[in-house]
Structures are given as C-alpha cells and as structure tokens.
Amino acid sequence: MTGRIIRALSGFYDVETESGETVFCRARGKFRFGGETPLVGDFAEFEGQTVTRILPRKNAFIRPAVANVDQLVVFASDVIPVTDPFLIDRICVIAASRDIPVVLVINKCDLSGEGTLAQIYRDTGIVTIQTSAETGEGINALRAQLSGKFSVFTGNSGVGKSSVLNRLNAELHLPIGEVSEKLGRGRHTTRHIEIYRLPDGTRVADTPGFSSFDTERMELVPAEELAELFPEFAPYIGKCRFPDCAHLKEPGCAVRTALEEKTLQQSRYDSYVKLYETAKSAKQWE
C-alpha cells in the first residue's frame, strides 16, 4: 500500500492512506533508504505497519524537514515578536532557488495595522496576506491561497502559525504559546512537524519556529544567482553599465539607481548584500 507520512516521531510514522485512514508505522530495521530518512510529506510504500520504501521526492527541505512541498508559507509579525526581514528574505531566496512558491503571511495585524513589513513587501512580487488569528481578518484570503495544496507553515516562534491554523480548522485545537513580553520571543510550543487536513484536499504542515541555530545553518544560495531571486530586481537586471555587475558598489548600477529613487526597498537590498557577502565568504572557506 502507499500513503503519505503525516507525522514523524523518533522512528515512528503516521501514514495517511489513500482512503484517509492513518496507519501507525515503524520504519524497516535500522532505517536507511539509501541514506535517506523518511520525512513528513513523503509518499511511501508500507506493508502492514512497516514503511518499506520512500517514493521519489518532488523536493525536500532540511529545515524544516519536509518533502513534496507545494508552497512555503512564511509567517511574520510586526509586533511581539518582531520578525527580522532578513529571515523572511533568506527563506524566500532558498525557496525561489528551488522553484517553490512562497506566500508571506503578516499576522497579528489587529495589533499593528499596515505596519513596516507590509510596506517592505508591497511591491516585491511576493504574494502577501495580512491576517489576524484574533479577529479573523485575512483568514479567508489565506484559505483560498492554500486550497488543494500542501503548504508548510514556517517562520519565527510566536508569530501565530498554530493560532492561524486553529482559525482555519476550529477542530484542531493545536497548542499555542505565550510570547514573553520581556524577550519578545515565542516559546517553542510546537515541537514536531505534522500535516493537518483541511477540506478540499488542502494539507498544511505546522512546524516549530526557527531558532538562531537553524538560521545559521540554512543553506546558502550562490552569490551570482541571488539577484534573479529577488523578483522586483528583474526590471533592472541587464541594465547596469557592467554586464557582470554584482549590484554592490559598481558605477552605473541600475539596481542601485532604483534604490536611490526609492523604487526598491532598502531593507530588501540590504538582505541581498548580506546574502551576497555571506555566500562569497563561505565559498572562500570551502
């Protein structure tokens, strides 16, 4: 039989069958499918209660550890906790480099209204939805965006991923965390990755938030590929004086001109430069 792994906990797997049942499985022996560990989102063959084979993946992430993702939903907030736009940009670039669509959800808009993040991302070409798990604002727009796909919720702890998922399906009752007023940081209430079912074949994986440890170990995209992964840079690429312009300090740079004219957002450009420099210095150490 084949099914999809919807939960993984220390060597045990919940597998959803085609008929919608959940079978509790363990993996065969000391599990190594040619070095691959089964991931949440994997389609797998199983016999009885043993997973015997992982089917080829469309894509896979290590942080968060999920496979066969249709879209990544990056959660952020302008208020307790404040999301660093660099974290958003970093995730967007990794997803774009693998052709995985991204949706940016700016939650807690009941507390912040049209805040800083909405302004930064308005003209980036990134699909952005403002939501409130408190008032329900934007929840239907998000529901429409999720419909029929397998989406993975990601973002820093405490921004409201689990709260929004509870809003999307009132039967879930996922535990939510307190955000410490003092630290402005969320606690990691969600400790594992699990796929939840919504109507119309919609699937959503809730994941624990990122720690700084995770972000330090996120994969790097080669410096030369970065500019094309910022969709709003597109009109300027190829218009710089030097064909190999890195858009850093070169004279006659169309990207920097757009920045000076405020057509591009400083925050996005700063992320580009930071990612560029990180990728370059990592390469030197190789």
Interface contacts to ligand GDP, rule CB under 6 A: 75, 107-108, 110-111, 132-134, 157-163, 176-179, 186, 189-190, 209
Q: Which are the contacts of 174, defined by CB distance < 8 A and separation ≥ 6?
A: 162, 165, 166, 190, 196, 206
Nearer to ligand GDP, 99 or 178 (CB): 178
Chain centroid offset of residue 81 CA: 17
Residue closest to ligand GDP when measured from CB atoms: 160
Closest CB 104 distance from ligand GDP, rounded Å? 14
**CA-based radius of gyration for the chain:** 20
User: Which CB sits closer to ligand GDP, 178 or 244?
Assistant: 178
162, 166, 265, 267: which one contacts Mg ion (CB under 5 A)? 162
Q: What is the DSSP letter of 147?
A: T
41 binds, among Mg ion, ligand GDP, Zn ion, none (CB under 5 to 8 A by kind): none
**How many whole angstroms separate alpha carbon 21 and alpha carbon 174?**
20
Q: Is 259 in the site for Zn ion (CB under 5 A)?
A: no
Find the binder of Zn ion among 5, 93, 204, 245 (CB under 5 A): 245
133 touches Zn ion (CB under 5 A): no
DSSP 3-state of 72:
strand
Whether residue 93 contacts residue 221, with contact meaning beta carbons closer than 8 Å, is answered with yes
What's the closest the beta carbon of residue 129 comes to Mg ion, in angstroms?
Answer: 18
- Minimum separation from the CB atom of position 63 to ligand GDP (A): 15
- Buried-state track 234-251, b at ≥16 Cβ within 10 A, e below 16: eebeeebeeeebbbeeee
Kindly list the residues in this chain that would bind Zn ion in the complex (CB under 5 A).
240, 245, 247, 253, 255
Kindly list the residues in this chain that would bind Mg ion in the complex (CB under 5 A).
161-162, 190
